[in-house]
Amino acid sequence: MKEKNDSFIIKGGKKLFGEAYVQTSKNACLPIISSSLLTTEKVKIKDCPDILDVKNMVLMLQKLGVKIDHDGKDLIIDSSGLNNVNLDCELTKTMRSSIFLLGSLLQRFGTIMINTPGGCKIGARPIDIHIDAFKKLGVKVSCLGDCLFFDASRAKANKIHLKLPSVGATENIVQFACLLKGKTEIVNAAKEPEVVDLCNFLSLMGAKILGAGTNKITIYGVDSLHGVEYRPIGDRIVAGTLMTAVALTGGELTLRNANANQNEKLIDILRRMGCQINIKHDIIKVTKSGRLNSIDVVTGYYPEFPTDLQSMLLVLMCLANGESRLQENIFENRFLIKDELIKMGAQIHQIDNRNVLVYGQNELRGCTVQAKDLRGGASLVLAGLVAKGETVVEGIRYIDRGYDHFEDVLNSLGADIKRT
């Protein structure tokens, strides 16, 4: 595991050229790892990214009695010895994704006690949607100090209408309902590709799930699930990050294992800003020269522009020709990167928690900046790639949570980044 005080030292001004393979998706791998607990047979998850969130999830499961072996980047999971539902408090505080274990462990044991999960401080991110959904399935939820106690002894299938299309709540209910007798319906379900990937994985295990990728998912409970081998989808946010990097620096990048349909909104935006993008099967080629055009963008739930790419787009706007506007509709604290970019010479006016105006500049200046969340941290690295002089990005433990050897990927394309 990387040290908590690691930093990146970046020498800017280099164009990016070459080819990169997009890692498997963090946000697909984590719920899939959780779902492997729904069978006592072995599950093999192929090509898992070497990131802190996966390492911490593995560590958490091992403390519960799950045997996990590594075959290169493949995980072989044997949960037949799972004997504990007391999640490690320190790990759950650092990982928002620990909430994914709720559905599978509750189904496996019938009761579970959890701490409120942690993660990046980008907004309230309440788990009340999860709680309300489980209550509609007959699960009793009690508050005991800083912990929540779930009792599924009287759980039964039902129709659930989510007040927001929460990815985590959708995935938790799908996991729990796979082995719950009867028909469970999730209305206003999340439609993200990672939700579809989880449903595909569970279907291969023997689950009966209809409607994944639409706003209504129907699950028919089965008696048991079996082991499988599965490769999660490529990470659309990592692909988007790398496409944005080339849009900033100029150059030419070929991405493999990249599903263009999953990044349709970003590709449209990059084209409008002046990039040339060619697509063939799972290959995306991005070429950029000259100044970027200004643009107005609004984030939203999939298939709208993703909030996880918002901070990268903010960096693009800082160097675009003219005035751009960015509206954030998912999280109320997604502009943590703003003050760090201003240190680098950006002109950003925050109207309120949801809206910023960006006045494009000819250049950014290198300086020392602080990563405060996963995607914002990656975006500061991108800003450093194009900034004049040297940029130091501190707090890169956030970046290590979701990007597999980020500096090595960028250096292979011609960047100059050192970890210190």
Q: For residue 350, which phi and psi values (nearest 5 degrees)?
A: -90, 115
Does residue 322 lie in a domain region? yes
- Residue finishing a domain among 230, 258, 275: 230
**Chain mean pLDDT for the chain:** 93
Question: Which residue's structure tokens are 């849009």?
Answer: 247
Q: Are residues 306 and 167 in the same domain?
A: no
Residues 66 and 146 both lie in one domain: yes
Are 182 and 329 in the same domain? no
Write down the pLDDT at residue 89: 58
Q: What is the DSSP code (8-state) at residue 238?
A: H
pLDDT at 9 over 50: yes
- Per-residue pLDDT tens for 219-239? 999 999 999 999 999 999 999
Question: Annotated catalytic, 178?
Answer: no
pLDDT band at 254 (very low <50, low <70, confident <90, very high): very high
192 and 310 in a single domain? The answer is no
- Predicted confidence at residue 88, as pLDDT, reads 59
Say yes or no: 349 and 376 in one domain: yes
Given the residues 29, 48, 120, 318, the one annotated as active site: 120
Q: Please indicate whether residue 250 or residue 149 has the higher confidence score (pLDDT).
A: 250
In this structure, of 73-87, 117-131, 280-294, 322-336, the range with the lowest mean pLDDT score is: 117-131
- Tens of pLDDT, residue by residue over 17-65, are 999 999 999 999 999 999 999 999 999 999 999 999 999 999 989 989 9
72-86: average pLDDT? 92
**pLDDT class of 94 with cuts at 50, 70, 90:** low
Q: Are 196 and 70 in a shared domain? A: yes
- Tell which of 230, 265, 283 closes a domain: 230
Number of domains in the chain: 2
For residue 101, tell me if it sits in a domain: yes
Confidence of residue 97 (pLDDT cuts 50, 70, 90): low
pLDDT at 333: 74
CB-based contact 324:304 (threshold 8 Å):
no
49 and 401 in contact (C-beta within 8 Å)?
no
Residue range 167-181: mean pLDDT, rounded: 97
Same domain, 11 and 68: no
Q: Is position 377 within any domain?
A: yes
In b/e form, how buried is each residue of 280-294, taking b as 16+ CB within 10 angstroms?
eeeebbbbbeeebbb
**At residue 56, what are phi and psi to the nearest 5 degrees?**
-70, -35
251 domain residue, yes or no: no
Query: Measured on CA atoms in the order 51, 56, 31, 79, is the torsion positive or negative?
Result: positive
Give the number of other Cβ atoms within 10 Å of residue 124's Cβ.
Answer: 9
Distance CA 31, CA 168 (A): 9
Same structural domain, 14 and 72: no
| Domain final residue pick, 207, 230, 253 | 230
pLDDT at position 96 is 58
Q: Is the pLDDT of residue 159 over 80?
A: yes
- Are 191 and 53 part of one and the same domain? yes
Domain that holds residue 298: 7-20+292-419
Residue 399 lies in a domain: yes
Same domain, 34 and 13: no
Which CATH number does the domain housing residue 414 bear? 3.65.10.10
- Tokens 């990672």 belong to 194
Least confident of 31-35, 51-55, 146-150, 319-323: 146-150
Q: How far apart, in whole angstroms, are the C-alpha atoms of residue 196 and residue 179?
A: 18
Q: How confident is the model at residue 93 (pLDDT cuts 50, 70, 90)?
A: low
Mean pLDDT of 167-192: 97
Mean pLDDT of 282-302: 96
Percentage of the chain modeled with pLDDT above 70: 94
In a domain, 317, yes or no: yes
Task: Provide, for the chain, the percentages of residues in helix, strand and coil under a 3-state DSSP scheme, each rounded to the nearest 5.
Answer: 35, 25, 40
102 lies in the same domain as 214: yes
Q: Is residue 140 part of a domain?
A: yes
Whether the pLDDT of residue 376 is over 70: the answer is yes
pLDDT score for 120: 41
Residue 281 lies in a domain: no
Distance CA 118, CA 137 (A): 25
pLDDT for the residue 79: 97
Q: For residue 125, name the pLDDT band (cuts at 50, 70, 90).
A: very low
| Span 337-354, pLDDT tens digits | 999 999 999 999 999 989
The reply to whether 71 and 210 lie within a common domain is yes
